[in-house]
Amino acid sequence: MTVSQLYRQVRDLFRDAQIELPELDAKLLVSAALGISISDLMLRGDDPVSETKSATAKTHAEKRLAGMPVGRILGEREFYGRRFVMNPATLEPRSDTEALIDAVLALSVPTQEQLFCDLGTGTGAIAVTLLAEMKRSRMVAVDLSFEALSCASENADLHEVSDRFLPLCADYASALAGAKSGVFDWVVSNPPYIRTHDLGMLSPEVIQHDPVLALDGGVTGLDSYVRIIAQAEMLLKSGGRIALEIGFDQAGAVEKQLRHHSFGAIEIVKDLSGNDRVLLACRQ
């Protein structure tokens, strides 16, 4: 079998099963199984494929047909142009979250020395990307899950920012409560924000593969925001900023919490689909 034959076989299986993006998923899975880039998939279409590699591609395809997302099958995915590994304790990074990175960078000078705190870092997609983009900044990356934190540390190593990346295993900023207040320039977070009652409505790809701890925002979906905003008031310098990922219908409720805690200059940023996705605010 040749490279193109294998690709077409997997793509057709995905088309028949009405997978949303059959071409893209087949390209990602087949190229990973063969250990080549997506462009080589086309350029080296006539190369023969070994039995072992074609068996790996077929195992990947079976997992995809059983409903596992591509990122979970490969244990990694791209975020803001960089490769991030993930594990069962971490949410799969979403492209929606790239809106948070753009929003923070739009308010920053890349050479500035900023001290960030990322609450609920997961894979470290936000934390590591910001450090990679802002070469003089430093990050305290907090997660309740030790397993998630080791994944974030691996990503910090992968992108050579570990010397500016401090992982902290804690329940949000509880471990920083006794520390000197008002030292951070930024608090960033993509906390769990799905209402408990709505968890059952998430697609099987999400609810069966992303950890509930990273999704469940309590009865109102707002539990994490209430805690994070109160803690950010203590962590941030006057003039420091907060950037929060939010659910598409949560801007009003989260904005109310921010106003309640001496935050101003509130700005709502939309994602590429046009949904409210990020709230920015300034600590007064």
Give the residue carrying structure tokens 């520390």: 179
Least distance to ligand GLN from the beta carbon of 220, Å?
13
Give the residue carrying structure tokens 């790996």: 56
Q: Kind of pairing, strands 184-189 and 236-245?
A: parallel
**94 binds ligand GLN per the rule CB under 6 A:** yes
Which part of the chain contacts ligand GLN (CB under 6 A), choosing from 52-60, 155-163, 192-200, 257-265?
192-200
Select from 69, 192, 211, 240 the one that contacts ligand GLN (CB under 6 A): 192
Q: Nearer Cβ to ligand GLN, position 56 or 224?
A: 224
Q: Kind of pairing, strands 138-143 and 76-79?
A: unpaired
Select from 24, 105, 206, 268 the one that contacts ligand GLN (CB under 6 A): 206
**79 binds ligand GLN per the rule CB under 6 A:** no
**190 binds ligand GLN per the rule CB under 6 A:** yes
Which part of the chain contacts ligand GLN (CB under 6 A), choosing from 25-33, 64-72, 125-133, 190-198?
190-198
Task: Count other Cβ atoms within 10 Å, centred on residue 245.
Answer: 22
Q: 2 CB contacts (<8 Å, ≥6 apart)?
A: 45, 46, 47, 48, 49
**Cα-based angle 265, 127, 171 (whole degrees, multiple of 5):** 85
What is the phi-psi region of residue 172: left when phi exceeds 0, alpha when psi lies from -120 to 50, beta otherwise?
Answer: left
Select from 7, 184, 186, 193 the one that contacts ligand GLN (CB under 6 A): 193
**263 binds ligand GLN per the rule CB under 6 A:** no
**71 binds ligand GLN per the rule CB under 6 A:** no
